[in-house]
Structure 1
């Protein structure tokens, strides 16, 4: 029977184990990437175990544990064992599904347990060619902002690499000072996450570009592979003073990847109204949904898995 003692923290030292499962069983949600896991480990405390040649991931946020379906060949007994552990030691939402495969598996096995869609953490996925070319009337306003930026700003685009990492660190320190990261917990966590990505850029598989103005670096974008068709833009930061620079870095990122990747996953809006409006304005091709179950709903059905 599974127990919490079976789980170990995910670290740089064992990330190849996790990546191998992600390679064999391609993922569709940004949270199942090694970059997300390692960069946000200080917040979500990702743990894993291997059972029956499958990977099981658990997060622990302030003692609130959430488990995910096994990644690998389906094993109904293992799923039941995992649900029993989630019921015993999980938090208020002890089980979370990040793809339709896991959702279908769970709902077919346990049709009586309610499943809820978590719209706030559904990823926005765009065609890379749409973001690179902004075609048609639906992107007219965005094109106008970028055209103005191009007219009013002298800039260049560079790949992120060892030659400019130190400058990017200085840029991020300025960004945090402007945003008052120390005053807001979520920004403090994001600061730690983006600095981790810079400190371990090549090691964890990051790619990126920056926009350099005549003054200094004005914006950066950092991404990584999700599957053969899709990248995830994990971080996108810009300093004030250049109207349209966020739209410009978005477009330049798409131009950089469109020949190799069909889709760009730009993560979720976390339920923030302004972010939701901004992401919707770019007309996603599709969403990558998230579902969860509540511990309170498991009580009436626990005899089926415990």
Structure 2
């Protein structure tokens, strides 16, 4: 049995058994988001709700990828054996190839998904979300295998890029259970999780530890909006250390004050930190060193 949840681009379009007064044609795909194979939204309403996407993003159930270029169809044909009769021996594959213009850090992040079987959501330039439904209610991405190629160096004619191939597990999955949603928000509001590097600023003491938090491949973007609940200080044995949090100053320097600070303690973010505009996770704890004996 086939199911479908399709929101047409124009109000008033109605579909009949063998056609429609207006065809609901989708825009070209411009971006993707990956998810584990068991991830799904409970309803179409949930799949149209930005807050639910961002909650799944913070839980690493949704992995927004990058805007794409040079999208191409690379489908393969069905394979047949022909004798007195014609027998299908292999189904053709639905395959899409594209390029993404990435710096080396983003390439490395994308390449970490090479060879993985995951689900994929597709965002179009008409602000649509393309997905599938197994039952007419739940919404999930299509099952795919993603292949990430080697980064190609820039030339005078073209910036560096990463080639990507997406092979769909079932070429009829979207046809048999199509989902096309038109949310009020844009895919650009899903930025993924930013890695943050914590670093000491100046020399710590038994009563004060100053540090910075930077994002970006070269640590060029200071993150200055962390709050008390976002940062934890631990004793060397992993127990929490009581302290007072001081927000970042004009130079992006945070401070923790208290007593009994010692070398071997460490600072870390409180898991994945989600803020209004962005989501962050540290790339490792900051171990305190340099407190005078």
Pick the TM interval, shorter chain: under 0.3
Greater fraction of residues in helix:
1
Normalising to structure 2: TM-score of the pair?
0.25
Greater relative CO, 1 or 2 (CA 8 Å, sep 6+)? 1
Greater fraction of residues in strand:
2
Greater gyration radius: 2
